[in-house]
Amino acid sequence: MSRLAGLLEKLETYYGAPAAPRLNGPFEMILWEIVAYLADDAKRQTAFDVLRKRVGLTPEKILAAPQSKLIEVTRTGGAIAAEDRAGRLREAASLVTEEYGGDLSSVLKWPTPRAKKALMKFPMIGEPGAEKILMSCGALHVLALDSNGLRVLVRLGFGTESKSYSTTYRSVRGATLDEQPAGSQALTAAYHLLRQHGQQTCLRTSPACPTCPLRSDCPYFVASALR
């Protein structure tokens, strides 16, 4: 068993099996990112469910919805920039309709660089977000990370932290290539476990190191204890 696999096993024992949102394909994953802002998972899920029930999750239904209704939806995901996010929902729907004939799933068959570039044209989707979409859909066999998971792995000694987020991201991703789990389901589970650990224990400031299940194998904890 690789070191990373052992760490992930400890996290699953500590937190239980991760619960990923049920999203159908890349377009719904993009809507999930847009519909809420600075919201926890429960609030984001509520906003997404409101979008599903009041508008629908297809490009056609989003484009047909009045802007006022889209704003009502995005406000359930947070008051900040609700109008802007409503516009981004429409922008994403227009892009899928105009460039992909209403079906974004075609990008999953493209070579990875082309698929990533296409997904990064959508609002609120950067390189990590594009990789997460491709990984979750089984089109990329590399461990994608959000900022929480990235912080966890840097502290555990994977990769090198840099002033540039993208440089750090690529360094950590490269350092995990030989140790990452195989298969879309296992990669997605790893993504969510690392994210959960970063949100609940390995916090950006004042991490809860004394209760961390990984502290015995964490260079960051060892260095902190010696200060």
CB 91 within 8 A of CB 121: no
> Per-residue pLDDT tens for 97-139?
999 999 999 999 999 999 999 999 999 999 889 999 999 999 9
Q: Global pTM?
A: 0.90
pLDDT at site 93: 98
Q: What is the pLDDT of residue 69?
A: 97
pLDDT of residue 156: 97
Phi and psi at residue 54, to the nearest 5°: -90, -25
8 Å CB contact between 43 and 78? yes
* Phi and psi at residue 205, to the nearest 5°: -120, 145
Short-list 153, 215, 197, 177, CA closest to 11: 197
Helices 25-34 and 127-136 pack at an angle, to 10 degrees, of: 140
CA distance 101 to 80: 32
Nearest-Å Rg of the Cα atoms of the chain is 19
Q: pLDDT digits over 181-207, tens only?
A: 888 899 999 999 999 999 999 999 999
Higher pLDDT, 15 or 225: 15
pLDDT at 225: 67
- pLDDT exceeds cutoff 70 at 215: yes
Q: Give me the pLDDT at residue 133, please.
A: 96
Per-residue pLDDT, 175: 94
Residue 227, pLDDT above cutoff 80: no
Residues 148, 199 contacting (CB under 8 angstroms): yes
Local structure of 204: helix, strand or coil: coil
Describe the chain by its helix, strand, coil percentages, rounded to 5.
65, 0, 35
- pLDDT for 152 equals 98
Q: Is the confidence at residue 226, as pLDDT, over 80?
A: no
What is the tens place of the pLDDT at every residue in 54-85? 999 999 999 999 999 999 999 999 999 999 99
Neighbours of 134 (CB within 10 A): 24
Q: How far apart are CA 36 and CA 142, in angstroms?
A: 26
Check residue 120 and give its pLDDT: 97
Instruction: Return the sign of the alpha-carbon dihedral for residues 191, 193, 196, 197.
Output: negative
Instruction: Please state, for a pLDDT cut of 90, what percent of the chain lies above it.
Output: 89
Per-residue tokens: 78: 């947070």
Token pair, residue 206, equals: 């004042």
pLDDT tens digits, one per residue of 139-168: 999 999 999 999 999 999 999 999 999 999
pLDDT at 11 over 70: yes
Q: What is the four-CA torsion angle of 169, 171, 174, 180, rounded to 10 degrees?
A: -60
